[in-house]
């Protein structure tokens, strides 16, 4: 596994493919692993929770589905249109991978359905939830160790 950095910056609104990641890193993100999502509370302290996450290197987007009333969703929403700085990490033994980026909250039906489909491919079909939203992360940096 190698580390890489995307061409995306905090000022870039569009999704950008993530270049320079080796196949072992990408395969690790397709395997079944629980992750942690770190967001910042309004007071600046970190909020770290276990989540299921998906990563699409072609678009440079990672996604976490959650309830719109969850603390993580509220933390991202509080950051406003500029988005919230977040990190998603997974590990297994000595292997680990982190995606850092700018998160926004999506609640439109198309975004939620797409994120649910991706989640089902990696984990399982999620239970129906009318309050579901998507934390969508535009990845700006990748880290990892194989």
**Residue 76 · residue 65 · CB < 8 Å:** no
Name the DSSP class of 14.
S
63, two tokens: 């996604």
Cα separation, 79 vs 68, whole angstroms: 15
State the residue for tokens 């580390």. Answer: 3
Q: What is the pLDDT of residue 48?
A: 98
Mean pLDDT for the stretch of residues 68-79: 97
Q: Tell me the pLDDT tens digit for each residue of 21-57.
A: 889 999 999 999 999 999 999 999 999 999 999 999 9
* Helix, coil or strand: residue 21: coil
pLDDT of residue 2 exceeding 80, the answer is no
The mean pLDDT of the chain is 90
pTM reported for the whole predicted model: 0.87
pLDDT of residue 5 exceeding 80, the answer is no
Class of residue 101 by CB neighbours under 10 A (exposed 0-12, middle 13-18, buried 19+): buried
């Amino acid at each position: 596994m190698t580390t890489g950095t995307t061409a995306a910056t905090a000022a870039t609104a569009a999704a950008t493919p993530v270049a320079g990641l080796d196949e072992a890193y990408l395969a690790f993100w397709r395997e079944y692993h629980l992750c942690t999502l770190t967001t910042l509370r309004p007071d600046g302290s970190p909020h770290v929770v276990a989540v299921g996450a998906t990563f699409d290197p072609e678009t440079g987007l990672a996604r976490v589905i959650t309830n719109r009333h969850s603390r993580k969703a509220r933390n991202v929403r509080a950051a406003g249109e500029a988005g919230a700085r977040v990190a998603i990490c997974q590990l297994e033994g000595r292997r680990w991978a982190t995606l850092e980026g700018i998160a926004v909250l999506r609640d439109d039906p198309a975004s939620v359905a797409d994120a649910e489909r991706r989640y089902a491919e990696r984990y399982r079909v999620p239970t129906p939830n009318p309050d579901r939203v998507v934390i969508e992360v535009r990845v700006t940096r990748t880290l990892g160790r194989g």
